[in-house]
A and B are shown apart, each in its own frame.
Chain A
Amino acid sequence: MATINDEDFERILRPHLKYLDSGEPVNPEADLKSLGLDSMSAVDLLFDFEDEFGIMIPDEEMVDSTFATAGALREVVNRAEAIS
């Protein structure tokens, strides 16, 4: 299990949300699609999380619901196993 603080989570996520204003916080309920995350950038985002935190997100989680909201994504990232 990887525990990731709010600051790190947002630092990784924010650059992928091109419609999010720079001063605006990322709410757990925030709809990531409407903030600019599409299926192409989702893969880049995923790799950023994995590289930054040394985790591996399992294949079963590669579904739309994982990338639906910031809160859902946060949960999946937190659940991901650290790689040895």
Chain B
Amino acid sequence: MTTLRTTPRSAQDGAVRSSVVTALKQVLPVVSEQKRSVDASGSFPTKAVQALRDTGLMGLVVPTELGGMGGNLKDVSFVARALAGECMTTAVLWSMHCQQVLTVAVHGGDLLRERVLPAIARGEKYVGSITTERGSGGHLLHANAPLLRPENGDSGGYRLRRDAPVSSGALHADAFLITMRAGEEASPDQVRLVWAERADVEVVQRSVWDPMGMRGTESVGVQLDGTVDADAVIDGDFRAVALQTFIPAGHVAWASSWLGAAQGALRRAVDIFRDPKQRAQYEVTSDRFAVRLARIRLELDMTEAFLDRTLGDLEEFCGPNASRDVSEPAFQIELNNLKVVAAERTFAAVNELIELVGLRHGYLNSSPTRLEQVARDLRSASLMYADERLLLANGKLALLDRNSTLP
């Protein structure tokens, strides 16, 4: 049975929460049913995504006037944690979709917003993300492939040809948000974000996805080739869009998914420790056991606190009533730290939980704790936009922020 056991108290505000909870009650059993097959076969969670489409959750961050639920990043975080408690793959795919949608909602021109957001709210568009590129060194804010005027030149649109060595769910996306070099004359630092409908681009699969964990994301390599309308290009340099929306939404999406997955794992392990029939095999009342369990809980509580603190600060720096400058070093450090802390601590917690639980319930795929799968999934966390790159940035930023505190 799947019940909604996770209710992050600090993220409970927001007018949309009750409709979100209603939708989740419908979605979670579907996610739960599919979680094992998604991992075993390495296939995209089509049924779970369909349930998310049917319940309006694909339009969680679409403004209400365009038919969406009008949610914010706190709501995204809440849903991602709940989904990840069942299936981290589904949570990451869905929350990254929300990252794309929020970016269009906040930064897209009126034509683009009115064209695509109502359809997203109706559940008709799962939006993929294309940011990786061969030769860009994995830098989010760089792009080599340029936007081109089409050869016949009669429309106001653009031609785009773009490879992406890794793109989650690309073969299942109904549309993409793509980083492109602003033009042939532009430098790789001058990047634009471009919306492309699946129907307007040819998508060729270039590599397979057979990873350790996160198997159902089908993060294959693809090549895109097609044309887009002029209004599909989001105005302004991507760096500004990234700092204000794309990066915060991405880090919240990932951290929330990782935290939810680890908390789900701990809940299932505690179920075993609390089950009178099963706990005999553990020394649950010994001091040593208690201290080790306490450390695991500590890791997750610290991550949750940091995530919720960041979600609060986001309103001051990025929300509609933002009063502070998003480029403040202390805020940039906090955002980067969120990703690093969540990646490191959630994996460490689940890894230690496996030690505590032992081979049968910790290492065997058949255990109802599913620690084995969660550990494989969470092992990806430090690699998704490598922690080292963010720490390098934070080391430099820390020298600029002589206050040396959270923002």
The smallest C-beta distance from B276 to any residue of chain A, in angstroms, reads 4
Contact with A along B264-297 (1 / 0, CB 8 A): 0000000000111101100011000000000000
Query: B285 to A54, Cβ gap below 8 A?
Result: no
A12 at the interface (CB under 8 A from B): no
> B279 to chain A: which residues have CB within 8 Å?
47
Query: B276 to A44, Cβ gap below 8 A?
Result: no
> B284 to chain A: which residues have CB within 8 Å?
47
Give the number of A-B contacts (CB < 8 Å).
Answer: 17
Tell me the bound Cα distance from A47 to B286 in angstroms: 12
Q: Which of A39-63 contact B (CB under 8 A)?
A: 43-44, 47, 50-51, 54-56
Which residue of the partner chain A has the closest CB to B277? A83
Query: A43 to B285, Cβ gap below 8 A?
Result: yes
Query: A44 to B285, Cβ gap below 8 A?
Result: yes
What does DSSP make chain A's interface, helix, strand, loop or mixed?
Answer: helix
Contact with B along A46-84 (1 / 0, CB 8 A): 010011001110000000000000000000000000010
What does DSSP make chain B's interface, helix, strand, loop or mixed?
Answer: loop
The smallest C-beta distance from B125 to any residue of chain A, in angstroms, reads 40
Which residue of the partner chain B has the closest CB to A56? B276
Tell me the bound Cα distance from A55 to B276 in angstroms: 8
> A51 to chain B: which residues have CB within 8 Å?
276, 280
The smallest C-beta distance from A16 to any residue of chain B, in angstroms, reads 11
The smallest C-beta distance from A50 to any residue of chain B, in angstroms, reads 4
> A47 to chain B: which residues have CB within 8 Å?
276, 279, 284-285
Query: Measuring CB to CB, which residues of chain B are less than 8 angstroms from any residue of chain A?
Result: 274-277, 279-280, 284-285
17 residue pairs bridging A and B, Cβ less than 8 Å apart? A43-B285, A44-B285, A47-B276, A47-B279, A47-B284, A47-B285, A50-B276, A51-B276, A51-B280, A54-B276, A55-B276, A56-B274, A56-B275, A56-B276, A83-B275, A83-B276, A83-B277
